[in-house]
């Protein structure tokens, strides 16, 4: 009896499941006659590849920017320090030369005053004073050599600034080639010419530096 009851329950269950299946089937929408794929489907399919390429390019760009930043930091900091040192030297050279010229003018003025006071007295003394005065005036002329030295120091500073501008243009070219593509080439062309200055030109210790030259040419 128990077995028969169990079989009845099983059959009733199966029938109920079949009924549920039929009802569900009836609820499904009718399939279109020809299934048209949406127009954006190929783009969606390609999207992962596009994103992968974009990611690679962004990664490369960031890497270039990082490298450029490092190079820029190294070169510009060094050059800025050198430029600052050169400009500082120009300032001190100008000050030293100006002081020397003013001292010479003071001495020349005193000699002219002495000439006035000696007028009509001792001709030999007056002649000595005139000679000393000529020497003083000539020394003043020689002191103006500082202009040549500072001019070379300023040209060097200008070149350093141009080099830094070139480095910056290189970095900006990565971000916007259309705007900065030719800038670094222009700067490179400007720097390519021969340097008509000595980057180490200085007014300091002329006697010591002349001694080195004399020692070499004495051989």
**Contact set with another protein (CB under 8 A):** 138, 141-149, 151-152, 193-198, 200-203, 206, 209-210, 212-214, 216-217
- Give the number of other Cβ atoms within 10 Å of residue 166's Cβ: 18
Q: Which candidate, 195, 183, 188, places its Cα nearest to that of 155?
A: 195
Alpha carbon distance 111, 126 (integer Å) = 10
CA 132 to chain centre: 53
Residue with tokens 């103006």, as numbered in its chain:
144
Which CB, 53 or 209, lies closer to another protein? 209
Residue 196 C-beta: closest distance to another protein, Å:
4
Phi-psi label, residue 34: left if phi above 0, alpha if psi -120 to 50, beta otherwise: beta
Q: H-type helices in the chain, by residue range? A: 2-27, 41-118, 123-143, 146-175, 177-180, 183-192, 206-218
Which CB, 27 or 212, lies closer to another protein? 212
Residue with tokens 């299934």, as numbered in its chain:
35
Residue with tokens 């020809």, as numbered in its chain:
34
Which CB, 146 or 170, lies closer to another protein? 146
Residue 73 C-beta: closest distance to another protein, Å:
29
Residue 176 C-beta: closest distance to another protein, Å:
35
Residue 136 C-beta: closest distance to another protein, Å:
13
Residue 183 C-beta: closest distance to another protein, Å:
24
Which CB, 22 or 209, lies closer to another protein? 209
Which CB, 48 or 208, lies closer to another protein? 208
């Amino acid at each position: 009896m128990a077995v028969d009851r169990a079989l009845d329950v099983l059959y009733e269950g199966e029938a109920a499941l079949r009924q549920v299946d039929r009802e569900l089937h009836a609820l499904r929408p009718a399939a279109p006659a020809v299934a048209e794929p949406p127009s954006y489907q190929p783009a969606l399919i390609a999207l992962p590849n596009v994103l992968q390429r974009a990611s690679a390019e962004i990664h490369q760009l960031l890497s270039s920017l990082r490298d450029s930043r490092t190079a820029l930091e190294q070169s510009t900091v060094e050059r800025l320090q050198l430029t600052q040192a050169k400009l500082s030297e120009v300032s001190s050279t100008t000050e030293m030369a100006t002081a020397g010229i003013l001292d010479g003018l003071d001495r020349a003025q005193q000699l002219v005053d002495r000439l006035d006071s000696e007028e009509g007295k001792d001709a030999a003394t007056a002649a000595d004073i005139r000679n000393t005065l000529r020497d003083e005036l000539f020394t003043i002329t020689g002191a103006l050599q500082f202009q040549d030295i500072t001019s070379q120091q300023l040209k060097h500073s200008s070149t350093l600034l141009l080099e830094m501008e070139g480095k910056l243009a290189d970095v900006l070219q990565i971000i916007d080639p259309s705007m900065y593509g030719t800038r670094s080439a222009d700067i490179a062309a400007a720097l390519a010419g021969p340097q008509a200055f000595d980057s180490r030109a200085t007014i300091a210790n002329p006697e010591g530096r002349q001694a080195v030259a004399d020692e070499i040419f004495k051989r």
